[in-house]
Structure 1
Amino acid sequence: MGDRWHVEVDRSLCIGSAQCLHHAPDGFRLDSARQSHPVDPDTDANERVLEAAESCPVEAITITLGDSGEPVFPPEE
């Protein structure tokens, strides 16, 4: 069984660029205010969701391991 992730979008940072939708169309949705939301905040580890987080121009998307809360993206330095 693979890792489970918890995905969050900081709506105070989100600018509605829709880069997340471009990279992971099944993983994110924009609301009427063009704010991004994860379709399923608790999801299986997924390369497309990671690409979406990495492509966000304002780094509004965070991913943590579901069981431990350890950061996946952005990585701890």
Structure 2
Amino acid sequence: MTAEEQWRIELDSAVCVGSGLCAGTAPTCFTLDTAGRATAPESPVPASPELLDAAENCPAAAITLRTAEEGKEIFAP
């Protein structure tokens, strides 16, 4: 991961259980909406270890990360 690398967040809101783990782990990338489901900012976002950690630890496996330019999979549940 480089300092200028950008990732695209794909969030499956249909399977999100609203645990808030993603928002707690990567608060610059995730928030919870009024229904308690995770939301992500418009992509791309800067690559970060916190973002990868949030995706890897999502209890609902609702987060996929891809490179912004090529769409190469970084993490998929």
Task: Give the TM interval when normalised to the shorter protein.
Answer: 0.7 to 0.9
| TM-score, normalised with respect to structure 2 | 0.88
Q: Is residue 5–residue 43 contact of structure 1 (8 Å, CA) maintained in 2?
A: yes
Size of the alignment, in residue pairs?
75
Unaligned 5+ runs, structure 1: none
Q: Which residue of 1 aligns with 2:28?
A: 26
Unaligned 5+ runs, structure 2: none
Q: Is residue 11–residue 36 contact of structure 1 (8 Å, CA) maintained in 2?
A: yes
Alignment partner for residue 6 of structure 1, among 8, 17, 21?
8
| TM-score, normalised with respect to structure 1 | 0.88
Equivalent-residue separation in structure 2 for 1:11 and 1:61 (angstroms) = 9
> Which secondary structure state, in structure 1, belongs to the residue aligned with residue 4 of structure 2?
coil
> Which secondary structure state, in structure 2, belongs to the residue aligned with residue 22 of structure 1?
helix
Alignment partner for residue 57 of structure 1, among 59, 62, 65?
59
Identity score, percent: 35
Moved over 2 A (4+): none
